[in-house]
Amino acid sequence: MMSSSLQAPVTYLKGVGPNRADLLKSELGIHTYQDLLQLFPNRYIDKTRYYKISELQRTPAEVQIVGKITHIELIKQKKGSRLVASFIDETGSMELVWFRSQKWIRENLKLNTPYVIFGRTNWFNGKFSMPHPEMELWEEHKQGVRIAMQPIYPSTEKLSNKGVTNRVISKCIQQLFMETGSKFPETLPPYLCDELRLLPKSEALYNIHFPKNQEFLARAEFRLKFEELFYIQLQLLTKKISRKKKIKGFPFEQVGTYFNEFYEHHLPFELTKAQKRVLKEIRADLGSQAQMNRLLQGDVGSGKTIVALMSMLLAMDNGYQACMMAPTEILAIQHYQSLKSLLGSMDVNVSLLTGSVKKKDRTQIHQDLESGKLHILVGTHAVLEEKVVFQNLGLAIIDEQHRFGVAQRSKMWHKNVIPPHILVMTATPIPRTLAMSLYGDLDISVIDELPPGRKPVKTVHRYDQNRLKVFRFIRDEIRKGRQVYVVYPLIKESEALDYKDLMDGYESISRDFPMPDYQISIVHGRMKAEDKDYEMQRFVKGETQIMVATTVIEVGVNIPNASVMIIESAERFGLSQLHQLRGRVGRGAEQSYCILITGSKLSNDAQTRIQTMVRTNDGFEIAEVDLRLRGPGDLMGTQQSGVLNLRIADVVRDRDILKTARFYAQAVLREDPELKLEKNRAVKATYARLKAHKEIWNYIS
């Protein structure tokens, strides 16, 4: 039975039938033989030995015992009843207990017949008991497939209730191996298997389900994880190669007046080494014949805006327009203002297009874009509307791109006959391993140093009871002329509670910082947009010293004079949010502080988050910890959930295998980009099949 028959519906497998097939489909997404084969166990139980009742220990353990049932009775309880059986072997006796399916069990149990029981033991009232044991007649047990390490499969409550237990699933998979003769097509070339000492595919699949021992299990896991990651990397790299071949970019051959004038007369400070390195990478892309597709990562405040502006000036030097897109109006306004102030007196036309631009101004922008009079357009999603037509868009910069849907990004591409160069920017540091998977088809640049004169923010952790000391510290900072943020969590499910926390906090701060000596702004999600902007503007102009807010201020707002960030209930925030919030201060030359205030009871994860924040300012290190705590799906936010639905590999734990897989995928494509060589026949066939069944990721960018 070859791979084609692995696409057969699971209903046809002996022992499954239509009802079980429907359950497997709805609960675990298993439609075909192939899906069942790829339902990998979560963990394994070592069933290599049989215990005697006299050997049992009082700590709970999963054990296997051979013995007989001598007596069964139904015992009434306050709620319902329990079925209890006496079970003996030659060394002692114990009880077996059932709280469900009692009628069926009672009718089917045989007295004084040897059984193998398996389950978790409890020591209670001077006796061992085992609730809901797995049971098999000793005669049948001897004849079954000997499974030394018993696989435990993913399951759901509904499956267990309907009798599709772990044992049933295990039996179905044994049946699948019998029907297929355990023969599966090899999916990797012999030279790769030899070089990495990989188990053959059929052997790896058998040993992931029914491992002979720990060593075989480890080798099977490595083989299957490597293969999964290898094909994902192959897809990403193939995409990248074909895009570079197929999609010709506009070659920006000139470094001309705009770029040079800015560099010589308008640069506010010497570029950092990292900024220079990144600009060089971008210039190399823009000068080649291919379309640029680059991800620019840099922590908050690392100077991405200047790199973006200089890239846009290169577009202008070559006779093209540029645009910059941000996810929110506040951010778009801020980019627009930064660009205007950086450009100073230079003869560059920049406009801002957001949802709230008036119709008259909008029409003017549309005309200037089409005539080519407008050089740079900054905006929100409004830039994507059909009416927005450029004369010749050469470069599109997308900020915080994980907040834009895939469909929106593709609109950007179709603004021209030839797609513009694309630069994607993010201040959410993405760990290298994750970036290799999520953005493996983009080239990646990293700005990993802060501009000179920026002092790292000092972060401290304080408990609720130290609040008065914190208030004293705020007073001192305000006396020096600084401004302070106080941020409260915003968690959708408990909006009313959050609102109450925020208002209580606002009131207690108003009491401790009374008018007219102090002015306080407040910003939260229930306010009208114009009220929010009014309060924001008061803070920006320095008319208020304290800004009490929910996380709406997370992205954007650049206020160099704000030097203290206080985060209330910091244990309720994720690491990346804490890091983003901290990035709101430390933008001026003064020493800035971030104070994390928590309750006294902290979970282990919350402790790890707080300690990480206090220990380091390095966004990449923080992202690595975040990835370990939360896993990849969460890290990318809801827009990309389901992105990392890997069958067996894990991009965090298996980062070394991921690097190895990428290395070999690159080597294969370097030598044989079209996979035409005879030795790569298995790779070509497997890749084609995975693509046809959409079994590799459908990638993001």
pLDDT at 540: 85
pLDDT at 470: 94
CATH code assigned to 1-47+147-183: 1.10.150
pLDDT at 324: 95
180 φ/ψ angles, rounded to the nearest 5 degrees: -95, 0
Beta bridge partners of 115: 67, 137
- Fold annotation for 257-447: Rossmann fold (3.40.50)
Q: DSSP assignment, residue 83?
A: E
Could you tell me the two tokens for 328? 């929110």
All CATH 2.40.50.140 domain ranges in the chain, comma separated: 54-145
Q: How far is CA 233 from CA 174, 285, 460, 680, in A?
A: 32, 22, 41, 16
Contact status, residue 604 vs residue 450, Cβ threshold 8 Å: no
Q: pLDDT (tens digit, 9 = 90+) per residue, 323-352?
A: 999 888 878 888 999 899 999 999 999 999
Q: What is the 3-state secondary structure (H, E, C) of 504-516?
A: HHHHHHHHHCCCC
606: which residues sit within 8 A by CB, 6+ positions away? 571, 598
In total, the chain counts a number of residues equal to: 701
The radius of gyration computed from the CA coordinates of the chain, to the nearest angstrom, equals 32
pLDDT at 419: 84
All CATH 1.10.150 domain ranges in the chain, comma separated: 1-47+147-183
Query: Can you tell me the distance from the alpha carbon of 546 to that of 671, in angstroms, rounded to the nearest whole number?
Result: 61
Closest CA to 46 of 152, 205, 170, 165: 152
Residue type, 582: R
- Fold annotation for 54-145: OB fold (Dihydrolipoamide Acetyltransferase, E2P) (2.40.50)
Contact status, residue 40 vs residue 15, Cβ threshold 8 Å: no
CA 581-582-586 angle, 5° bins: 130
Where the chain has pLDDT below 70, the residues are 1-4, 145-147, 401-417, 432-433, 436-439, 491-497, 552-557, 631-645, 652, 694-701
Coil, strand or helix: which one is 298? strand
Q: DSSP assignment, residue 110?
A: -
- Fold annotation for 458-616: Rossmann fold (3.40.50)
Query: Can you tell me the distance from the alpha carbon of 153 to that of 166, in angstroms, rounded to the nearest whole number?
Result: 6
Residue type, 393: L
Q: What is the 3-state secondary structure (H, E, C) of 441-506?
A: CCEEEEECCCCCCCCCCEEEEEEHHHHHHHHHHHHHHHHCCCEEEEECCCCHHHHHHHHHHHHHHH
Contact status, residue 164 vs residue 24, Cβ threshold 8 Å: yes
Contact status, residue 360 vs residue 366, Cβ threshold 8 Å: no
Count other Cβ atoms within 10 Å, centred on residue 196.
13
Could you tell me the two tokens for 147? 């499974």
All CATH 3.40.50.300 domain ranges in the chain, comma separated: 257-447, 458-616
pLDDT at 645: 61
Q: DSSP assignment, residue 290?
A: B
pLDDT at 31: 93
pTM: 0.65
Helical ranges in 247-272 per DSSP H = 257-261
93: which residues sit within 8 A by CB, 6+ positions away? 53, 70, 86, 87
pLDDT at 241: 84
Continuous segment of H or E residues that includes residue 106: helix 102-108
